[in-house]
Amino acid sequence: MDSSPASYFDTSSWDPRDAISGGSRLVPISTPVGEFRVWTKRVGTNPDLKVLLLHGGPGASGEQYESFDAWFPAAGIEYYYYDQLGSFRSDQPDAPQLWDLDRFVDEVEQVRQALELDSSNLVLLGQSWGGLLAMEYAVRHPDKLKGLVISNMMSSSPLYNQYATDVLMPAMDQDVLAEIKRFEAEGTTHDPRYEQLLTEHHYALHVCRLPVGEWPDPVNRCFAHINPAIYVPMQGPSELGMSGTLETWDRSGDLADIDVPTLVIGAAHDTMDPEHMRWMSEQLPQGRYLHCPDGSHLAQFDDPQHYFPGLIQFLQSL
C-alpha cells in the first residue's frame, strides 16, 4: 500500500483509544529480540467461516478494512482485524531486524494459533502487502487454511516494477514524473511537494479514485498511521514500484502449490496489473478471479459494488 505522511491529512479528531475496545485482544508474539503484543479485534460469530485480515503497507493498519463493517456482518461472516507488529495499535519496537518477511510469516502463524483458527474455518485475506504476506503464508502453511483471498497484489515484485515502468509511468505527465523522480533521487521524499504530486497524479488515479478531499476517514487514518520505519526498508522510498528488501520477491512459480480455494481480486485502475492477477487465478489449482472495473488499489472503497458481492459470494461458497 502506498504511503503518505500524517501531516497530509487532518486526523486531529482521531483518538486511537477509540478503536481499542469491544472485542479487541492483544495477542502475545515471540520474536528473536523478545516478547511483544499485536492488536486484534473479532467481529461477528461463525464457527465455520472466520476471516483473518492482513493489512497493507508494510506498516499500515487494519483501518483499511473498516468498510467491511457495512457488508460482512449482514452476510454472517466472522472476521478479525489485526495490526501487524510495528503497526498502529500494536507494539512498535525499535528493532529493524524484525522487519523481515520470514518473521512476519511466523507472526501470522502465532496469531492464527492464539485465535484458535484452523483449516476447518480460516480464510486468510490480504490486500497489497497483506496479499504478498498471505501468499507467502499459504505457500508454507496450506494445510492451515480453508480458503485464501489475494486482493490487489501481484505474485512478483519484478513484474510489478515492470508494470509501473511500462504502463503507469508512461501514462503520467512526463514533467511531473521527472520531478517525482528527482525528489526520490535526492532523498527528499518528505517534501510536501512530492506528496502533492503523488496524490494528484498517482494516488487519485490508481490508489483511491474518489476525490482526494472526499476520501473516507478510514483511508485517511490508515495513510496517516503508516510506520515509515517498516515501510521504507521493505517497500522502498519510491511510490512507483518496489525497491526495498521485497524488490526481488516472486512466488509466481509456487502458485500451483497453493491448493486451497483462492480468490484473486484485481481492479482496472490498480497500481497492480489486473491481467497478471487474472493469470494468477489460472495458475492456482482452485483459483477464481474477481474483477473490479471501476476500482483501483483500494477497490473496497472506490468500487464496493463489485468488490463486496463477489467477495461475499466466494466466502459463502466455502
297 is catalytic: yes
261, 256, 291: which is closest to 277 by C-alpha? 291
- CA dihedral sign of residues 265, 270, 275, 279: negative
128 counts as catalytic: yes
The helix (H) or strand (E) run that includes residue 245 is: none
Q: Which residues touch 147 (CB under 8 Å, ≥6 apart)?
A: 122, 123, 124, 260, 261, 262, 263, 314, 315, 318
User: Would residue 4 show up in a list of annotated catalytic residues for this protein?
Assistant: no
Q: What is the grid cell recorded at 268? A: 482496472
Q: Choose, from 67, 87, 90, 128, the residue flagged as catalytic.
A: 128
Catalytic residue among 270, 273, 302, 303: 270
Rounded CA separation 300/76 (Å):
18
Q: Mark 168-204 as b/e (b = at least 16 C-beta within 10 Å).
A: bbeebeeeebeebeebbeeeebeeeebbebbbebbbb
Give me the catalytic one of 297, 302, 303, 306: 297
Using CA atoms, how far residue 245 sits from 122, 262, 310, in Å, is 29, 26, 33
Catalytic residues: 128, 270, 297
